[in-house]
Structure 1
């Protein structure tokens, strides 16, 4: 019956654990129960051995009292009286050992039952714990030959033969009681730890995860930003960090929405301005062709001013695009492409000496159109910076390093002002050149990044400026 109760308790515990291990709190509860039950298993054998020793000690004392009663009665004990004394001590036979001699005081027939020697005059913990296992696994009819020291006569030894079956039943009952106590203790301890962790850890973490999920659903809703508590531990730090991050994301989204609206308005204005500039350019071209020198000079200046306005509109529209298309990377021979771009852009830049020192066999993996726009922005900026400068020179060179190709563009311009260098690649960061919008380098950096490359400012100063473009080389 006790074994059935233990099996039923284990099955019930398994059902409880399976029903609650889905969440973090359930796992913590299950682990706590498992740890307490493990500790109970570790202390079971010492506890069971102590219980077994106590049980045997009680039977030895009862047998000693029965032996004293038999001695006092001397020869007046009937067979029935002897049996009653033995039954009261749960014994089959009782003998006294004194002076090296063994004297049978009470006895009955033991038959051919197997015997197990148990000496309680010396305590051996490991052997006693092993005896617990043999008590569970031994034959049902085995008898214990117990040697013990009587409490009232410590100079004597008493020998008791008793059946092992009552000890086995008592030990099973003790194990069942210990199991239920351990199960109750583990459940109670687990529940207390679970409640503590639920308040201190699981609940706040669940609040953080819920806030992240709600914010992800609609990050533009300010009501979904977490309001951090007043805790000063790691959970409080996590709440404040999450709230700050959500606030930054919300501000960035709102800024992008404002910029998107502004970009749409600017695109419409630019479209109209380009139409106006196109009409004005027709008139300025006619003025520039006038035979009157003053009128022609004014027309030339008007043509240049209108050209700057058209370039400004084109740059703003180009930067305001929603995003660049995915590049189609293919092997591109670098030298003729750069020569073509320089020929187009430097044709009107009188006095700029162009030198293409790129080896004809250097090839990069790039999108040809993107590469054209990238170097177009760099060469145009260099030409603008060296305008009206004597001895202006722009040199292009390249060298391979590992699986990358580094292309260098060096001009002899006046250099980039220090106030601009820190934000050189940011939009609308202009070096102050005539007609510059400050978008060329920002666009160039974006194009280089799309092609798995990079663009860096290597040096700048009164002797000139050097930019380096790094791209993947083609095998």
Structure 2
């Protein structure tokens, strides 16, 4: 059960509902009090009119006691008639020097009547009201009644108290009903959604914690179904990640064993490649290349598995010597490839040297593979400083990347079409660039070659 305190949604709704009803009661208090005041004065005017008729019928035979009884019955001190502009005292007593307040009920003024309510509460205790009204049986005349204001004040206080308690009761009942309705229709289901998210967060791999949506067709029902679908997707992703983690561990072990097998086979293939028999030597050369592709496949898979383990330590790295070092290692035996390093010797970036070596190595290796059958094989590496970034480009003269491959070029195991390619080089390069707060993009590709751009932060 949701507590009804102001800290909960239901409690806030209850407090707001009661506050709104009380506010509405305050707004209608003054019009209601003004109407009550007018009715009270109207009743006194009618009673005074009846007393005046009785006095007229009795003529001069009324005793002082009878006059006092008639005036007490109307709560009046004096009663007079206004006929043809002349005022005639019908019943009267001495008013003394008490303060007077005039009230004219022949003309209704709502704002003035509401202001008169305040004046009744704040006026002096002994003030008298001089009331002018229209007699119900003699519309051509006016009746003038002088009466004390104290009874009116007491009546208004009683009316205000009754109205306050009624408004408080109505606000409590209305607030409780609205609160219960909102609790059943909105707060309860929202609480259910919140608890489901909390329980699922504690153990997202537990299928029993996935929300079972109800049959509602409103916005809350849509939220329940969306939450249930999201939780199911997260559960499926977690299970897939667990399976991939187990698979990755198995692949790493298999790769380790395969590399040992390939190493032994490479020793045999090297001897066959140096055989004096031309046919045996040719077969040995093919075997060497096949084993080399197998070793590279194992190395790339292991490298891809390691690429997300640690965050690189970013330091200032001068680009030109590093690029020459990588080209010497990877293109040293490729005499057919013309390598051109145009990077200025003073350009440096913030990077991890080993990670940057792996990133650039993948690009150089891919370019060399792409240009293996080209008559003109040239790899040009250049760099340009733009603000606080350094843009490094690797431009080759290969045949370009097929259109079908470009959309998924940086995805794992997406091959650019080269023979023996694992499709992991560019995926590893993108991840390494991201870890070094940089990026890698395919700038252009076509029959005349391909250009990749690596953007890294400039070292100060």
With normalisation by structure 2, the TM-score equals: 0.93
1:254 corresponds to 2:243: no
1:58 corresponds to 2:43: yes
Alignment-derived partner of residue 230 in structure 2: 245
Q: What SS is found at the alignment partner of 2:20? A: helix
Alignment-derived partner of residue 144 in structure 1: 129
C-alpha distance in structure 1 between counterparts of 2:445 and 2:84, whole Å: 113
Alignment-derived partner of residue 144 in structure 2: 159
Question: How do 1:267-282 and structure 2 match up within 5 A?
Answer: 267-282=252-267
Q: What SS is found at the alignment partner of 2:395? A: strand
Alignment-derived partner of residue 114 in structure 1: 99
Alignment-derived partner of residue 451 in structure 1: 436
Question: How do 1:193-204 and structure 2 match up within 5 A?
Answer: 193-204=178-189
Alignment-derived partner of residue 22 in structure 1: 7
Q: Would you say the 8 A contact 2:101–2:128 is kept in 1?
A: yes
C-alpha distance in structure 1 between counterparts of 2:143 and 2:260, whole Å: 123
Stretch of structure 1 that moved more, 180-189 or 421-430: 180-189
The Cα of 1:268 is off from its aligned counterpart by 1.3
C-alpha distance in structure 1 between counterparts of 2:68 and 2:116, whole Å: 29
Q: Would you say the 8 A contact 1:403–1:472 is kept in 2?
A: yes
Q: Would you say the 8 A contact 1:351–1:388 is kept in 2?
A: no
C-alpha distance in structure 2 between counterparts of 1:63 and 1:388, whole Å: 123
Stretch of structure 1 that moved more, 415-424 or 190-199: 190-199
Alignment-derived partner of residue 397 in structure 1: 382
1:175 corresponds to 2:160: yes
Uncovered stretches (5+) of structure 1, i.e. residues with no partner: 1-17
1:322/1:166 CA distance change after superposition, 3 Å: farther
Q: Would you say the 8 A contact 1:351–1:389 is kept in 2?
A: no
Q: Would you say the 8 A contact 2:307–2:431 is kept in 1?
A: no
C-alpha distance in structure 2 between counterparts of 1:292 and 1:154, whole Å: 142
C-alpha distance in structure 1 between counterparts of 2:447 and 2:212, whole Å: 54
Q: Would you say the 8 A contact 1:349–1:387 is kept in 2?
A: no
Q: What SS is found at the alignment partner of 1:62? A: helix
The Cα of 1:450 is off from its aligned counterpart by 1.1
C-alpha distance in structure 2 between counterparts of 1:337 and 1:318, whole Å: 20
C-alpha distance in structure 2 between counterparts of 1:136 and 1:368, whole Å: 88
Alignment-derived partner of residue 333 in structure 2: 348
Q: 1:218 aligns with which of 175, 199, 203?
A: 203
The Cα of 1:288 is off from its aligned counterpart by 4.2
The Cα of 1:118 is off from its aligned counterpart by 1.3
Q: 2:303 aligns with which of 318, 323, 339?
A: 318
The Cα of 1:110 is off from its aligned counterpart by 2.2
The Cα of 1:19 is off from its aligned counterpart by 5.2
Q: Would you say the 8 A contact 2:307–2:428 is kept in 1?
A: no
Question: How do 1:82-121 and structure 2 match up within 5 A?
Answer: 82-121=67-106
Question: How do 1:258-337 and structure 2 match up within 5 A?
Answer: 258-321=243-306, 323-337=308-322
Stretch of structure 1 that moved more, 436-445 or 26-35: 26-35
The Cα of 1:295 is off from its aligned counterpart by 4.4
Alignment-derived partner of residue 3 in structure 1: none
Alignment-derived partner of residue 32 in structure 1: 17
C-alpha distance in structure 2 between counterparts of 1:419 and 1:258, whole Å: 29
Uncovered stretches (5+) of structure 2, i.e. residues with no partner: none
With normalisation by structure 1, the TM-score equals: 0.91
C-alpha distance in structure 1 between counterparts of 2:186 and 2:347, whole Å: 60
The Cα of 1:290 is off from its aligned counterpart by 4.6
Q: What SS is found at the alignment partner of 1:413? A: coil
The Cα of 1:275 is off from its aligned counterpart by 2.3
- Residues 383-408 of structure 1 show CA distances to partners (whole Å, capped at 9, x for unaligned) of 11212432211111122333322211
1:447/1:312 CA distance change after superposition, 3 Å: same
Q: Would you say the 8 A contact 2:79–2:91 is kept in 1?
A: yes
Q: Would you say the 8 A contact 1:143–1:163 is kept in 2?
A: yes
C-alpha distance in structure 2 between counterparts of 1:350 and 1:244, whole Å: 58
Question: How do 1:43-82 and structure 2 match up within 5 A?
Answer: 43-82=28-67
Q: What SS is found at the alignment partner of 1:466? A: strand
